[in-house]
Amino acid sequence: MSKVTLDGNPIDVDGTFPAKGDTAPNFTLTNIGLEDTPLTAWSSKRKILNIVPSVDTGVCAASTRKFNEKASSLDNTVVLVISADLPFAAGRFCGAEGLKDVVTLSTFRDDSFRKDYGVAIESGPLRGLCARAVIVLDEDNKVIHSQLVDEIKEEPDYEAALAAL
């Protein structure tokens, strides 16, 4: 079990957070078309997993915008924004913001992602959501960068994630 904070208050996070050099666990999450989509859908691409509690919060929205901005200039790379948001909400957010260079995925049908990736918030007001994290994978799904953000209300280290690519 890991610990992060929300406004300085400790929050329990369950599961095993992937470390550099690990092979990322496979997953199947739901896209905005309500299709179950496995990690293998992007098997030949590098992947930035921008894991957020909800795109309906300021920091999550900011990280989604920032990675969308950077994604358009990265070769052979996809940005996956993963949250417990319903696909409708994620699609509405990206549409309203004009974000076309990220793929939103929801954990709402399969909760195993949260524990498999060590981002399962188990205590506090956000219990049931994903902790804020960024995991960068190479084309073979090896972890080349990972950050579990210590304070949920803070943005991830974008430069470190992008530098790993």
Residues marked active site are found at 60
Helix (H) or strand (E) holding 129: none
Amino acid at 59: V
According to DSSP, the residues that pair with 4 across neighbouring strands are 11
User: CA separation (Å) from 142 to 20, 25, 121, 122, 165?
Assistant: 8, 10, 24, 27, 12
According to DSSP, the residues that pair with 49 across neighbouring strands are 80, 135
According to DSSP, the residues that pair with 137 across neighbouring strands are 47, 143
